[in-house]
Each structure stands twice: as C-alpha cells, then as structure tokens.
Chain A
Amino acid sequence: MFLWVTVFLLVCIILTIIRILLGPTAADRLVGTDMLSNLVVFAMVMIGFAFNEVIYIDVAIVYALLSFVTTLFVAKYIGGGKF
C-alpha cells in the first residue's frame, strides 16, 4: 500500500521536474526545487515504513535539513546583496 503512495509521489516529482526544466526565471526553478525536496522527504518516509527500516527516515531528516540550507544559499545568490 505505502509503496503505491511512493509511486504516486514519483508522478508528482516528475511533474515538478518538468516545471524546473521549463521555468522561465530562476525563481521559478528555485520554487520547483524546494517542492521537489519536500516530496522526496515524504517519499523516503513512505519507503522507510514499507520496508520497515528506520534508517531511511533518518536519511529523510538529514536530507530535509541539507536541502533547506541549499535553498537558502541559492535564494541569497539570486537576490544579490551582501552575505
């Protein structure tokens, strides 16, 4: 059951990747990347429950934090100004 949820989330991820490739401005691509990382976190939790492995959920937590830092850095780069 939870593996099918993961497959469904993969469809959403593919739609998001299409938006990242099409996006006219850099801000559009950054919005798509932010949503992509959130979807990957939820898919990892689903996989972790389906295979009964807690370590996948730990990986999801670390992935969420690292993608947050990456998004902040790219946003600072797009906006310009001083660090």
Chain B
Amino acid sequence: MILNIITYICIGIGCLFNLLAAIGLHRFHDPYMRMHASTKCTTFGGIFLIGAVVLQSARIWVSEGSASAQSIMIIHSVIALIVAMLTSGTSSHAIAQAAHRSGVKPARAVVDDLEEDVRNKEKQ
C-alpha cells in the first residue's frame, strides 16, 4: 500500500520534470539554454520514472517468490538508466562544443572561455 503511494509520487515527479524539459525547450531562445533545460530535466525525470518501475517490479518479485522473472526486469531497467545518464551528459558536451565551433555564440554572455582559448592558440 505505502509502496504504491511512493510509486505514484515518483511517477508524478518524473512526468513533471519531463514536461518542464519539453516546455523549456520552447521557452528558451539559445541552443545552450535549451541544452540546460533538456539534458538536466530529462535525466532527473528519468531517474524517478525508472525508480517507479524498479519499485513495482520489486513488489511483484517479493509477492511471487524468488523464481519470478521480475529480477531480470529490475537489472535491465537499472542498466538502461545508467546508459541514458552517461550518454545524455556526454552528448550534450559534444553538442555544446560543436555549436560554438559552428558560429552560434551565447547571447549576452559575459565570460566566454572557449573563445579566449581559441584566440590564444591562434596567437601562439
């Protein structure tokens, strides 16, 4: 009973953050700010969504006994979450560097360290 309530709360948080990521993709007006919305919120929401799956699978696993196939589902869901977390951060890093090289500069930026690095390399 209390496990179901925790699952509903996890699903609510996950859905809310995924919706916030989708809205932030439309509200912001720069590739870097859009990346800030999409990468962080999607990863955080996905942790809670897959956490809900793991909780429900564990509940079914305990009720059915140790011969159930739900343990495979728990392990594979956690592997999918780890892969999604690793690839999300890494690919956003690559996209940021590519966007800066392709000529899209951050709007109203005060400090641009990558620009200074490129300029210093050209001087040497």
Which A residues have a C-beta under 8 Å from some C-beta of B?
1-2, 5, 8-9, 11-12, 15-16, 18-19, 25-28, 30-32, 34-35, 38-39, 41-42, 45-46, 48-49, 54, 57-58, 60-61, 64-65, 67-68, 71-72, 75-76, 78-81
> Across the interface, which residues of B come within 8 angstroms of A68, CB to CB?
87, 90-91
Which B residues have a C-beta under 8 Å from some C-beta of A?
11, 14-15, 18-19, 21-23, 25-26, 31, 34-35, 38-39, 42-43, 45-46, 49-50, 53, 56-57, 69, 72-73, 76-77, 79-80, 83-84, 87-88, 90-92, 94-95, 97-99, 101-102, 104
Q: Is the interface of A mostly helix, strand, loop or mixed?
A: helix
Partner of B49, one of A15, A16, A32, A46: A46
> Across the interface, which residues of B come within 8 angstroms of A67, CB to CB?
87
Nearest CB on B from A5, distance (A): 6
Query: A16 to B76, Cβ gap below 8 A?
Result: no
Query: A12 to B21, Cβ gap below 8 A?
Result: yes
> Across the interface, which residues of A come within 8 angstroms of B90, CB to CB?
68, 72
> Across the interface, which residues of A come within 8 angstroms of B87, CB to CB?
64-65, 67-68, 71
Interface centre among A2, A41, A72 (most CB of B within 10 A): A41
Interface centre among A1, A31, A32 (most CB of B within 10 A): A31
